[in-house]
């Protein structure tokens, strides 16, 4: 089993990323010509949190920039310093979410010395990053797919990429004799659904008082059975 908790992950996130709003500034300040980091990060926080609130209450498609201006308390002219269209807002949110997720998932560090352990860590980290960025994940999954076709294709590619990485870990574990999974394609798809379950239906687990660490523990037990890990 992995030795990682949500509390430890939070500390790691703060070390690697700083916070969500600093990440948005770092990714966008040059093309938007933003000079003052402190002011810009505060504005990003206000704008994006207002987007999430309006998206939840009336839907992102129905939200107008005037709605966003009223909710955020930022003038229309002030908003245009950070984006030109609603699609650009969605693109910025998705790009920042992917950047933060890739940084924290540490996929490029895996060398398949123990693909079962690495898969467990990947699954746990995904739950923890989606817990930290729950509103971001929910927004991208529920709202962005109804927008620009190019953005939709990018989001679908991101989802398929995670499923492919899970599949590769399973096949490497099979090759090393660490498990005897007979249907890695199906199991990879099932595990991806279980990852999405956490941020799409968080209300269900809140009602049951199941936190991120408890969900991870049960997820890894399920993965062990689905993979038919040797010795289990």
- Provide the pLDDT confidence category of residue 145 given band limits of 50, 70 and 90: low
Whether residue 122 lies inside any domain: the answer is yes
pLDDT at 1: 63
Among 66-70, 102-106, 152-156, 189-193, the minimum mean pLDDT is found in: 152-156
Q: Same structural domain for residues 122 and 71?
A: no
pLDDT given at position 20 = 95
Do 45 and 115 have their domain in common? Answer: no
In this prediction the pTM is 0.92
85 with 117, same domain: the answer is: no
Q: Torsion-angle region of residue 75: left (phi > 0), alpha (psi -120 to 50) or beta?
A: beta
Q: Which of 194, 197, 198 is nearest to 220 (CA)?
A: 194
pLDDT confidence of residue 69: 97
Q: Which of 152-156, 163-167, 173-177 has the lowest mean pLDDT?
A: 152-156
**In this predicted model, what pLDDT tens digit does every residue of 61-115 receive, in sequence order?**
899 999 999 999 999 999 999 998 888 999 899 899 999 998 998 766 666 689 9
Report the number of distinct structural domains present in the chain: 2
Predicted confidence (pLDDT) at residue 230 exceeds the cutoff of 70:
yes
What is residue 147's predicted lDDT score, i.e. its pLDDT? 66
- 139: CATH: 1.10.357
What integer pLDDT is reported at residue 152 of this predicted model? 73
Q: Give pLDDT, residue 160.
A: 84
Parent domain of 22 = 18-90
Q: How much of the chain exceeds pLDDT 70, in percent?
A: 94
- The answer on pLDDT for 132 being more than 90 is yes
In a domain, 153, yes or no: yes
CA distances from 80 to 41, 66, 74, 137 (A): 15, 12, 10, 24
| Three-state helix/strand/coil letters over the chain | CCCCCHHHHHHHHHHHCCCHHHHHHHHHHHHHCCCCHHHHHHHHHHHHHHHHHHHHHHCCCCCCHHHHHHHHCCCHHHHCCCCCCHHHHHHHHHHHHHHHHHHHHCHHHCCCCCHHHHHHHHHHHHHHHHHHCHHHHHHHHHCHHHCCHHHHHHHHHHHHHHHHHHHHHHHHHHHCCCECCCCHHHHHHHHHHHHHHHHHCHHHHHHCCCCHHHHHHHHHHHHHHHHCECCC
The distance between the two most distant Cα atoms of the chain, rounded to a whole number of Å, is 63
The residues pairing with 179 across neighbouring beta strands, listed in sequence order, are: 229
Give pLDDT, residue 109: 66
């Amino acid at each position: 089993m992995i030795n990682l908790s949500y509390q430890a992950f939070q500390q790691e996130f703060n070390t690697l990323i700083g916070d969500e709003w600093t990440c948005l500034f770092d990714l966008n300040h040059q093309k938007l010509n933003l000079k003052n980091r402190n002011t810009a990060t505060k504005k990003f926080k206000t704008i994006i949190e207002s987007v999430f609130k309006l998206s939840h209450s009336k839907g992102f498609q129905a939200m107008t920039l005037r709605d966003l201006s009223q909710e955020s308390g930022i003038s229309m002219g002030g908003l245009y310093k950070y984006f030109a269209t609603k699609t650009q807002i969605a693109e910025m949110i998705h790009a920042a979410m992917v950047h933060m997720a890739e940084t924290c998932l540490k996929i490029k560090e895996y060398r398949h010395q123990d693909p079962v352990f690495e898969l467990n860590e990947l699954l746990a980290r995904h739950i923890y990053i989606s817990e930290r960025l729950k509103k971001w994940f929910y927004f991208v999954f529920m709202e962005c797919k109804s927008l620009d076709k190019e953005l939709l294709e990018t989001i679908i590619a991101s989802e398929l990429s995670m499923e492919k990485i899970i599949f590769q870990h399973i096949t490497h574990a099979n090759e090393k004799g660490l498990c005897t999974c007979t249907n890695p394609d199906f199991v990879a798809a099932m595990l991806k659904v279980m990852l999405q379950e956490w941020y799409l239906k968080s209300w269900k687990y809140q009602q049951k008082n199941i936190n991120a660490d408890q969900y991870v523990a049960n997820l890894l037990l399920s993965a062990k059975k689905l993979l038919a890990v040797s010795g289990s």
